[in-house]
Amino acid sequence: MMSSAQSGARRKPPAQRRAEITGAAAEIALAEGLERITLRLVASRLDVRPGLISHYFPAVDDLIAAAFAEAVAGERARLLGPTGSPLGRLAHFTATVQDADARDLSRLWLNARHLSRFNDALAASLEAQEAIDRDELTALIAAGIATGDFAAQDPAAAAVRILIAVDGFGAYANDREVFEEPAFTSFVADVAEWALGLESGALAEASAATGPGRSRLTAPDHGDFDAGIAQTASARS
Amino acid sequence: MMSSAQSGARRKPPAQRRAEITGAAAEIALAEGLERITLRLVASRLDVRPGLISHYFPAVDDLIAAAFAEAVAGERARLLGPTGSPLGRLAHFTATVQDADARDLSRLWLNARHLSRFNDALAASLEAQEAIDRDELTALIAAGIATGDFAAQDPAAAAVRILIAVDGFGAYANDREVFEEPAFTSFVADVAEWALGLESGALAEASAATGPGRSRLTAPDHGDFDAGIAQTASARS
DNA sequence: ACCTTTATTGGTCATGGGACCAATAACATG
DNA sequence: CATGTTATTGGTCCCATGACCAATAAAGGT
């Protein structure tokens, strides 16, 4: 003969609540890991009771899968989103992926790849995201072949190679002592150049012009050859 | 006022028990994953009480780290152990790593790389094993450069590249639908050839001669050019 | 205004895991 | 043979987690 749901029960439209939940879960996934996504933690982030999370996601595995998809989709915009020449876009991609700021994302992929072993929903979600990455990168490469930026014949094969390289690089995201070796540091760019028939260093040069915030600070000294590529953040829409 | 340790208490020399424990844990790690290493499961495998495992490993994290090291060390023998020409050994390595039979090992590395995030002991163990792999592969490559098998200048850099490629390939070990694409299937060998300045296909040919059991069945048709490399399992000691 | 739906709560239950401990018996050593 | 060490047991405690459920109140439709 007792109460329930009595006091503060701000009722929200289901779609919005659901979005809040996956959003909070995605944040947790990116910052702390997928296994930290727990009914109680997500609930506390939203100042809500754990049961509510179960209401939207009866099985926690599905929430984890959704959180992964959302987090990855959000990050993809930063990697492949910018416009510009195919070479410039690819240079931005490889540089960003290898930047220290991408560690959380690498960790998340690593996390998901492992957890897929025990979570079917996550496995499906992961393979879907893989496919999107592959398609977008393939399109980018195909465009670059059309413009003459790249010399590869098979865009899909090149995309696959580059993405595997990204995974290989990301596998070290949880290592304590960081690798300084250039063979490691620029592995993704090196593989990309190899896969696309570019000259060695082509991507590094292109990304020095376009470059992600941080690395511009360390190499602020050239002002001639970048003119052909540099318009990245401008040509939107 | 009651009993304990009363009935079947086969007392074994500590070193042996310890070995049994890490051995059982290593088996679990390889077959089911590092998170399945639990006091109770390991104990039941050895037909022993859980408390005994705690006695040898007061912190479970240390057992996990030890299990990983043991499992990986055991598998390394199969990969880099065989003798022969540097080219033959490397071909064996790349072929074995990409073989379906190596899935468990890839999964284990993936598992450990992720779990390192939360387990310092495991992180240390993992980086130690990484270093061993790197050193052994570097030595192999250096030998190959000496004999003229390989054309690379920097053996360490080539080793790093090849190992990252292995990790990238292994990242897909938990994928449900398998990738048939050759750019994926032979990624490690392709990267190795690139990193070592070999002709395309050189490793595939060399491994066809030496080959791991299974793949010999699918390609049993050549009998001339392999003569120069074939003596692998013979030159022991 | 009524009535159906359902978002939200509070609470319980079972599971499984790690750490810890006292008692005991097997072993080694003198 | 006596004695001390310790491998081994059985058991407890505590914690985190996911699933489940009945009760309630906020919306929305008619």
- Say if the Cβ atoms of A181 and B160 lie within 8 Å: yes
Please check whether residue B63 lies inside any domain of the structure.
no
DSSP tag of A84:
S
Same domain, A221 and A107: yes
**Domain final residue, candidates B58, B83, B99:** B58
Q: Considering only the C-alpha atoms of chain A, give the largest distance between any 2 of them, rounded to a whole number of Å.
A: 80
Of A117, A154, A170, the CB nearest to B174: A117
Taking each helix axis from N to C end, the angle separating A187-196 and A155-170, rounded to the nearest 10 degrees, works out to: 170
For chain B, what is the domain count? Answer: 2
DSSP classification of residue B179? P
Q: A206 and A229 in contact (C-beta within 8 Å)?
A: yes
Q: Using the CB atoms, write b or e for B201-221: b if 16+ within 10 Å.
A: ebbbebbbbbbbeebeeeeee
Q: Do B98 and B189 reside in the same domain of the chain? A: yes
Q: 3-state class of B201 per DSSP? A: coil
A165 in the same domain as A200: yes
pLDDT, residue B83, reads 87
Return the residue in B97, B120, B164 with the most chain A beta carbons within 10 A, the one to mutate for interface testing: B164
Q: What pLDDT is recorded for position B63?
A: 98
Alpha carbon distance B205, B221 (integer Å): 12
Whether residues A117 and B124 touch (CB distance < 8 A) is answered with: no
d(CA B65, CA B112) in angstroms, rounded, equals 9
Q: Are residues B207 and B101 in the same domain?
A: yes
pLDDT confidence of residue B222: 32
The confidence score (pLDDT) of residue B172 equals: 98
Q: Is residue B66 part of a domain?
A: no
**Residues B34 and B151 placed together within one structural domain of the fold:** no
CB A153, CB A161: distance < 8 Å? no
Query: How far is residue B181's CA from residue A156's CA, in Å, rounded to a whole number?
Result: 9
Q: Is the CB of A52 under 7 A from strand D?
A: no
The reply to whether B126 falls in a domain is yes
* Phi/psi of residue B114, nearest 5 degrees: -75, -50
**DSSP for A52-82?**
HHHHH-SSHHHHHHHHHHHHHHHHHHHHH--
Whether residue A54 is predicted with pLDDT greater than 50 in this model: the reply is: yes
A235 or A7: which carries more pLDDT confidence? A7
Domain hosting residue A202, numbered range: 71-236
Q: Are A33 and A111 in contact (CB under 8 A)?
A: yes
Q: Mean pLDDT for each 10-residue chunk of chain B (237 residues)?
A: 56 96 98 98 98 98 98 94 91 96 97 98 98 97 97 97 98 94 97 96 78 40 33 35
CB A68 within 8 A of CB A126: yes
Which chain B residues contact residue A177 at CB under 8 A?
Answer: 127
Best mutation target among A174, A175, A184 (most B Cβ atoms within 10 Å) is A174
Given B124, B174, B190, which is nearest A116 (Cβ)? B174
Residue A82's pLDDT band (cuts 50, 70, 90): confident
Same domain, B134 and B219: yes
CATH code of residue B24 = 1.10.10
Distances (CA, A) of B40 to B9, B35, B48: 17, 12, 9
Query: Which of these, A20, A14, A15, lies nearest to A47 by C-alpha position?
Result: A20
Cα–Cα distance, B55 to B18 (Å, whole number): 10
How many Cβ atoms sit within 10 Å of the Cβ of residue B8? 7
Same domain as B138, residue B116 = yes
How many helices (DSSP H) and strands (DSSP E) are in chain A? Answer: 12, 0
More reliable by pLDDT, A226 or B67: B67
A231, with CB counted inside 10 A (0-12, 13-18, 19+), is: middle
Q: Are A33 and A139 members of one domain? A: no
Whether A39 contacts A53, CB under 8 Å: yes
CATH number at residue B82: 1.10.357.10
Q: What is the pLDDT of residues A126-169, one digit of tens each?
A: 999 999 999 999 999 999 999 999 999 999 999 999 999 999 99
End-to-end CA distance of chain B: 61
Q: Judge whether A64 lies within some domain.
A: no
Minimal CA separation from A110 to chain B, in Å: 6
My answer on whether B165 and B49 are in the same domain is no
In angstroms, rounded to a whole number, what is the distance separating the alpha carbons of residues A177 and B93? 27
